[in-house]
A = this chain, B = another copy of it.
Amino acid sequence: MSDLISRLSLNQKTTNSWSLPEAVEGCVRHGIGSIGVWREPLADTGLEKSARLIRDAGLRVSSLCRGGFLTGIEESLRRAAIEENLRALDEAHTLDAACLVMVVGGLPPGSKDLPGARARVAEAIATLAPAAADAGVRLALEPMNPIYAADRGVCSTLGEALDLAEQFTAEQVGVVVDSFHVWWDPQLEAQVARAGKRIASFQVCDWITPLPADTLLARGMMGSGHIDFRHHLDLMTKAGYDGDIEVEIFNAEVWATDPDSVLETMKFRFVSELAPVAA
């Protein structure tokens, strides 16, 4: 159990109202050893100052969220997206982040061409992979729950993410396994095993029903929904993953709760929902 809790990482989205310095202090106060950083609060505090605060606090950076949004059609949009991702890679390098999480983007406005959008993602990843290698940062492709296929991420399954990642070295391109996004997949067991060393990030939050009206905020605290996290952790362990486990919760109720109280609940649920049950 103590070994498991040492792998807990606070993704900043879970404490959405906290600035980066507040989140760092929160991690220290609650004995959390790792943080998943978001670029917007990072920009608010400043890159160098943030990197120093995190380093001085002794925290690991389990991921930088997020790069991606690579599905634009016009050449100017595609070039802008590449440039934005290069900046994100620089930031991830400065933070010594384990990976840059890639939310690949949805269908462009007015387009219904899903295969085309997926092809543009593949093309952009091919452009970014060498830059990622230069920065010493891994791109982590995040397959997203199909609920977000139209408006957020056209990469919908772990198998699809691996098909793309495997065109590059494992150091350049890995995958994110986020329980919320992949829990329903009948291929989950096989694809996590296949992923092996490609697993760059493991994120957890629960699938709750009924879904909240705003589906972007539909993610629940572990134990509030339907996901068997112990099973997921077991699959990840068998696949050889022993890195940090990020709790990333987009949820209006969680965000309206005092963040210190959220961290207490998060720590408790992390252990009660993920730790192996004694035989």
Which 6 pairs between the two chains have the least Cβ-Cβ distance? A213-B213, A149-B184, A146-B184, A112-B228, A160-B186, A150-B226
* Residue count of chain A within 8 Å CB distance of chain B: 35
Contact of A114 among B184, B215, B225 (CB under 8 A): B184
Q: How far is the CB of A239 from chain B (nearest CB, A)?
A: 17
User: Within 8 Å of chain B (Cβ to Cβ): is A83?
Assistant: no
Q: Which residues of B contact A113 (CB under 8 A)?
A: 228
Q: A107-B226, A156-B185, A184-B156 known; A147 and B114 CB under 8 Å?
A: no
Chain A contact residues: over half helix, strand or loop, or mixed? loop
User: Within 8 Å of chain B (Cβ to Cβ): is A101?
Assistant: no
Contact of A227 among B112, B146, B160, B211 (CB under 8 A): B112
User: Within 8 Å of chain B (Cβ to Cβ): is A159?
Assistant: yes
Q: How far is the CB of A235 from chain B (nearest CB, A)?
A: 11
User: Within 8 Å of chain B (Cβ to Cβ): is A118?
Assistant: yes
User: Within 8 Å of chain B (Cβ to Cβ): is A84?
Assistant: no
Q: A145-B146, A156-B186, A186-B160 known; A215 and B226 CB under 8 Å?
A: no
Q: Which residues of B contact A185 (CB under 8 A)?
A: 146, 156-157
Given A112-B226, A149-B184, A159-B187, 8 extra CB contacts under 8 A: A107-B226, A114-B184, A146-B147, A147-B211, A149-B183, A151-B209, A210-B215, A211-B215
A150 contacts B207, C-beta separation under 8 Å: yes
A-B contact pairs, 24 of them (CB 8 A): A112-B228, A112-B231, A114-B184, A115-B189, A145-B147, A146-B147, A146-B184, A147-B211, A149-B184, A150-B184, A150-B207, A150-B209, A150-B226, A151-B209, A151-B210, A156-B185, A156-B186, A157-B186, A159-B187, A160-B186, A163-B186, A211-B211, A213-B213, A215-B215
Q: Which residues of B contact A163 (CB under 8 A)?
A: 186
Q: Which residues of B contact A145 (CB under 8 A)?
A: 146-147
Contact of A186 among B159, B186, B213 (CB under 8 A): B159
A225 contacts B150, C-beta separation under 8 Å: yes
Q: Which residues of B contact A214 (CB under 8 A)?
A: 210
Q: How far is the CB of A53 from chain B (nearest CB, A)?
A: 36
Q: Which residues of B contact A184 (CB under 8 A)?
A: 114, 146, 149-150, 156
Enumerate A127-146 residues with CB–CB distance to B below 8 Å: 145-146
A147 contacts B150, C-beta separation under 8 Å: no
Q: How many Å lie between the Cα of A39 and that of B189 in the bound state?
A: 37
> Nearest residue in B to A155 (C-beta to C-beta)?
B186
